[in-house]
Structure 1
């Protein structure tokens, strides 16, 4: 059976393309799981020069998959090649935190990377490009990239908190003995860091056909306000001795699929997006994770949800960390 499509190919960039997350991600993008089963893809794969040999191996594997939607693969270490006429940029590569590295040193190294990539977006990409920042510290890296691409709308930039969103859904589902698909409207507020706040005060669990508030379904307030909120990412790294590449790749696919195709009616997801200062008391000029609806490739923050004192304190704490990160990073920005 021959696959016939009338769509023009879209140009999709993945940075850090020789790395672990990309290795788990590229097949799903190339086979149509993200942008649709009739959407041809041109993959642009960017990595640093020492990784080009590894990247060429990834290219050979993608070619050997014989995927009908994959029209072209362009591996490169040159930003002017990688960012040319992009429809989608998935910025996975970043400087990882090394032993003994201060957070300000990590921010300084990543400001240099994301200033360069934001400038490349400004110079070479389409103004309609959708940009997802994955590399940590993702929120602040996303803000730097957006500031360095002033002609691309701020709402075209987002950072990944979908892994945390998926994790929260799954943990609630396991507690309730239902599939994760039966849990909706969890919220990740704030920074993709240890201060992030997974909030289930607006979450509903479908049990035997009835939607039950999460607190009533779980029946363990101490867990929901304690261990549930604590970071699981560190536990994965400790167990695997590697980062959570498979679940991160799945979350990237979910995030981009929702941007491309929209969120279901009556449901919202979590994304780090630009704060205009008009939602939930979050200061302007931060990339902060909010609950969002997505339609026609545009997001809208879900406003007006009631916030109790427990949630307010958590939301403010993660905002304070983001303000500190932003101000430290901007001091390194060479504009």
Structure 2
């Protein structure tokens, strides 16, 4: 899309804390570039409308020149009409006493409605990023309910896990995080995800060096590193009594920026995308893979080695996604 055009960007759950950080990244130009004008469409439930109006006042008071217009709404038709990008942050959180089936049912209803609205009203080239959990399955529901939108235009956020993995490697190796490359998040955005350092490298003064040759601690790389990334969200909630908002907003910004502008040559990032049979993951779920991106199109990186340790973890997270799909889809049929 030409920068002379105004892009319509929809953010759902727009009165929530993740959106509160995300919105300002978008309107500063971090996501779509410093010269891309934006129509910002903020969608939330009626109970949140007063808070949303307060957010709009803050946006106005920032006086960012990229903001062409702001729409504040509770109506999905108004929100998604002619949308170029849809960032679906809002979802039903799990509450005390809520069974997982209740959570899946509540979110199936939300993403069925939003998927249908995207199908009926959005630009047919719309790019959709699902953040609200369970993100992989919610993205699959939205995509299923939007048959007129290409499946590859739906993704879910695993970039937060990817960024967390890079940060843990950087801390352990005592290097700057910018020098850590090509870690991978496989599978579900859940505690079964597989953070994989095997194909990654670190830029040292002597050149590109495999992560394992720098850290030289396979027990840590196959143990504490993995569990730390898997449980990082829960650890943040335990520490601050709130979920990770700023880091989630940064990851959303990174995900969409790369989807629009592409990845550097030789660099891959993690995205939850429709499985196509790669790495033994059959079609029919949204699965986090390593991808490269060019001209707005992602490509799953092929030919990476999968050892028995990795195969077991990839199969485990795949199994969880199949179970989630089976449970959730009974509520949309």
Asked whether the two chains share a fold, i.e. TM above 0.5, the reply is yes
TM-score by length of 2: 0.98
Runs (5+) with no aligned partner, structure 1: none
In structure 2, the residue matched to 1:326 is 325
How far residue 104 of structure 1 moved from its aligned partner, in angstroms, is 1.1
RMSD across aligned positions (CA): 0.9
- One of 60, 69, 72 as aligned partner of 1:72: 69
How far residue 209 of structure 1 moved from its aligned partner, in angstroms, is 4.0
**Does 2:201 match 1:204?**
yes
**Does 2:175 match 1:181?**
no
TM-score by length of 1: 0.97
Q: How do 1:23-34 and structure 2 match up within 5 A?
A: 23-34=20-31
CA distance in 2, matches of 1:329, 1:196: 19
CA distance in 2, matches of 1:167, 1:310: 21
Deviations 1:249-274 (A, max 9, x none): 00000000000100000010000000
CA distance in 1, matches of 2:155, 2:291: 11
**Does 2:166 match 1:169?**
yes
**SS of aligned partner of 2:117:** helix
**SS of aligned partner of 1:53:** helix
After superposing the two structures, state which structure 1 stretch, 207-216 or 266-275, moved more: 207-216
Runs (5+) with no aligned partner, structure 2: none
- One of 186, 191, 194 as aligned partner of 2:188: 191
- One of 25, 35, 48 as aligned partner of 2:32: 35
In structure 1, the residue matched to 2:309 is 310
How far residue 6 of structure 1 moved from its aligned partner, in angstroms, is 5.9
Residue pair 2:3, 2:37 contacting (<8 A) in 1 also = no
**Does 2:291 match 1:301?**
no
In structure 2, the residue matched to 1:235 is 235
CA distance in 1, matches of 2:233, 2:206: 32
How far residue 28 of structure 1 moved from its aligned partner, in angstroms, is 0.9
Q: How do 1:109-120 and structure 2 match up within 5 A?
A: 109-120=106-117
In structure 1, the residue matched to 2:257 is 257
CA distance in 2, matches of 1:122, 1:138: 19
Q: How do 1:118-197 and structure 2 match up within 5 A?
A: 118-197=115-194
Q: How do 1:12-23 and structure 2 match up within 5 A?
A: 12-23=9-20
Q: How do 1:75-94 and structure 2 match up within 5 A?
A: 75-94=72-91
